[in-house]
Structure 1
Amino acid sequence: MTANSEFCVLGIEGSANKIGVGIIRNGVVLANPRETFHAPPGEGFRPSETAVHHRQQIVKLVSKALAEAQIHDPKVEIHGIAFTKGPGMGAPLQVGAIVARTLSQAWNVPILPVNHCVGHIEMGRLITGAENPVVLYVSGGNTQVISYSNQRYRIFGETIDIAVGNCLDRFARCIMLPNDPSPGYNIEQAAKKGSKYLELPYTVKGMDVSFSGILTFIEERGPKLIQKGEYTKEDLCFSLQETIFAMLIEITERAMAHCGSEELLIVGGVGCNLRLQEMAEKMCKERGAHLFATDERFCIDNGAMIARVGELMLDQKLYGKMEKTTVTQRYRTDQVNVLWRD
């Protein structure tokens, strides 16, 4: 196949509690079904239980994606199988890797190991049309401010402990908010009804942020303040959001100033949050910059974002070797050679 060939790639994403299968042809999303494992209120999702869920769903999702994309003969119409190599949780990741290896061999097409974080970035660029933005990547497992340079996505700043989504999820468990559709979404809705601000630790260290101290503070004091009637659950959700989002916008603006960038792209599951988007929009407006963001179809983990990077890798003949298609729980964004960008 030449660089101008028509590529159709199937991508599998299963790094956390969502398992998704996406199909992309020439940058057009043909199918993108997914299923989510929801733990009971007050609990997080465990790797082993999540992997069982993914194994139960993956075959149905592959069939559904092929049907939605109107792929009748995958051996002929599919040109590559992409899967999430990492970062993520080991047991869930392995489900996607095993299925990808199986399909690659059954259909005799290249296998393409994809970095999850790069998947978010490239999907965001594709959907929004952003050319060379500073990227604020915020999710349950990752928090990074990123910019592209010399065929690498360079990390300007990141969390030094837990990710922003993990912070939100754990606080949601603390106050017994449900996990369906997601803890972060339920915090966002509760925060809209809150108005009384509780001052929380604001921890920005250069270009990095820290959320563990904020979480400990609000986990220890929050339930007591609610019990005393001094604050409501909604007030605490409001206070937590305002504080951690302000921290994120501060380091993002600093990165934009350093790069002289007039574009900001927000990606990752927490990027769906409309309050975060509102704060980012205000910052961008003051700088004369433009904000790019997507909705839950593409912000939240999905197979199409993995297929998109697979498509770009296929064009550059960046095939994976079958014996090296293992998973890597700690696979950093800046480890990837981004050869498809100038």
Structure 2
Amino acid sequence: MVIAIGFEGSANKLGVGIIKDNEILSNCRKTYISPPGEGFMPKETAIHHRQNILAVLKQALDEANIKPNEIDVVCYTKGPGMGAPLACVSVVARTVAQIWNKPLLGVNHCIGHIEMGRSVTGANNPIVLYVSGGNTQIIAYSRKKYRIFGETIDIAVGNCLDRFARVLKLSNDPSPGFNIEQLAKTGTKYHAIPYCVKGMDVSFSGILSYMEEKSSKLLKNGYTVEDLCYSLQETIFAMLVETTERALAHVGSKEVLIVGGVGCNLRLQEMMRIMCEERGAVLFATDERFCIDNGLMIAKAGLEMFNAGIRMKWEDCGITQRYRTDDVDVTWRKD
């Protein structure tokens, strides 16, 4: 029985989670919410994490009902992510690992999402659609690597949604993407938006620029805010389904797993499920407990690494803002 604790703080979600083999002991999280019409900046986000991390750590230990001496390995998000928040949380992870005299492992944020998703859903070897505020990738496992089949060539899908929410001055509580999803449910009038798929890659910056430029005019010409949210969602989600379907066909897989914060979106899950059913495949998805950034997913991936014999030197336990998914040797999976 191995117990791992994970620290996550790559963006505006601060999380600490504890796992014992496949048993979830705790999964605590606190989110930095910026004012409507504004995004979260690295400095303010790092201040939020620094002010709250000890309280979240205590909550996680209390909920798990374990003592530090029972923990076998301390894990933290090494990257990718925003520099200041990453550094803030990694310092705490390094400190407690030294105080508790435990080994320390830096985890790739995306790998954390994938391993948590596979564990919770039972997906074996799926095509993974990783969609969040900072990342958009279509991934498949092969030869000890998570290979990127396609990705955004500019901004992430979550960033596109977040920035459009700012145009509409929507609340960031609980998240701008969630609020767009709720509005889109009652949208009925579809406006044709530029559709940008380039082979296996997608592009969202032009779509965002189009929506920023046209929104005011459209709202004066009979479209509602709900219609605009509906139109944007339908278009960008169709792009994601198309590229995921192409990867599914190429690999010959029968499973799709959606991970990342945008993966909570029920409309995206519905569209992907329809595609999977047409191809005789199965969709796996989770709810906000595991889709949205959390410390538990870092603990889970770190646990897999630890059990596979992976160890890191203290001098290697820094942060890497641009830490590619396919940079990681996935030695714990059996080909």
Smaller-chain TM-score bracket? over 0.9
- Please tell me whether the aligned partners of residues 85 and 114 of structure 1 are also in contact (alpha carbons under 8 angstroms): yes
**Which residue matches 1:341?**
333
In the alignment, structure 1 residue 188 sits paired with structure 2 residue 190: no
Instruction: Please give the alpha-carbon distance, in whole angstroms, between the structure 2 residues aligned to 1:230 and 1:161.
Output: 31
Query: How far apart, in 1, do the equivalents of 2:216 and 2:170 lie?
Result: 13
Identity across matched positions, percent: 66
> Which whole-Å CA distance do the structure 2 matches of 1:254 and 1:293 have between them?
19
Match of 1:27 among 5, 22, 31: 22
What is the TM-score with the length of structure 1 in the denominator?
Answer: 0.97
1:31–1:65 CA contact under 8 A, matched in 2? yes
Cα offsets for 1:165-214 (capped at 9, x unmatched): 00000000000110000000000000011111111000000000000000
Supply the distance in 1 between the matched residues of 2:104 and 2:284 (Cα, whole angstroms): 31
Q: What amino acid is aligned across from residue 57 of structure 2 in structure 1?
A: V
Give the SS at the match of 2:5: strand
Structure 1 unaligned regions, length at least 5? 1-5
Classify the secondary structure of the residue corresponding to 2:57: helix
Deviation at 1:321, TM superposition (A): 1.2
CA contact (8 A) 1:114 1:310 kept: yes
Correspondence list, 1:71-90, <5 A: 71=66, 73-75=67-69, 77-90=70-83
> How far apart, CA to CA, are the structure 1 residues paired with 2:173 and 2:24?
26
* SS of match in other structure, 2:333: coil
Provide the C-alpha distance between the structure 2 equivalents of 1:313 and 1:272, rounded to a whole number of angstroms.
26
Matched, 1:113 2:122: no
Q: Secondary structure at the match of 2:24?
A: strand
> What is the CA–CA distance in structure 1 between the aligned matches of 2:42 and 2:216, rounded to whole Å?
28
Deviations 1:125-148 (CA, angstroms, capped at 9, x unpaired): 000000000000000000000000
Is the contact between residue 269 and residue 299 of structure 1 (CA under 8 Å) also seen in structure 2?
A: yes
2:202 aligned with 1:216: no
Alignment of 1:51-66 (within 5 A): 51-66=46-61
Q: Distance in 1 between matches of 2:56 and 2:247?
A: 39
The yes-or-no answer on 1:238 pairing with 2:230 is yes
Q: CA deviation at 1:224?
A: 2.4
Count of residues paired in the alignment: 334
Partner residue, 2:253 = 261
Q: Distance in 1 between matches of 2:102 and 2:38?
A: 40
In structure 2, the residue matched to 1:3 is none
- Does structure 1 residue 160 correspond to structure 2 residue 157? no
Instruction: Provide the residue aligned with 2:94 in structure 1.
Output: 101
Q: Does 1:293 align with 2:293?
A: no
> Pick from 258, 273, 276: which aligns with 1:284?
276
Q: Deviations over 1:33-71 (max 9, x none)?
A: 100000000000000000000001100011110000001
1: distance between equivalents of 2:139 and 2:87? 27
Does the aligned pair in 2 maintain the 1:192–1:234 contact within 8 Å?
yes
Deviation string, structure 1 residues 80-129 (Cα, Å, up to 9, x no partner): 00000000000000111101100110111100100000000000000000
User: What amino acid sits opposite 2:240 in the alignment?
Assistant: L
CA-atom RMSD in angstroms: 0.6
Shift, 1:229, TM fit: 4.1
Please show how residues 138-177 of structure 1 align to structure 2 within 5 Å.
138-177=131-170
Q: Distance in 2 between matches of 1:324 and 1:262?
A: 38
1:319 deviates by 1.6
Task: Return the letter of the residue paired with 2:18.
Answer: I
SS in 2 for 1:225: helix
Distance in 2 between residues matched to 1:266 and 1:208, nearest whole Å: 17
Superposition TM-score, scaled by structure 2 size: 0.99
Report if the CA contact (8 A) 1:175-1:223 is conserved. no
**1:202 lines up with 2:200 in the alignment:** no
| Corresponding letter in the other structure for 1:308 | K
Give, as a single letter, the amino acid of the residue that structure 1 aligns with 2:138.
Answer: V
In the aligned structure 2, how far is the partner of 1:230 from the partner of 1:163?
29
Contact 1:188-1:237 at 8 Å conserved across structures = yes
Unaligned runs of 5+ in 2: none
Find the partner of 1:321 among 296, 313, 317.
313
Q: Is the 8 A contact 1:209 1:247 kept in 2?
A: yes
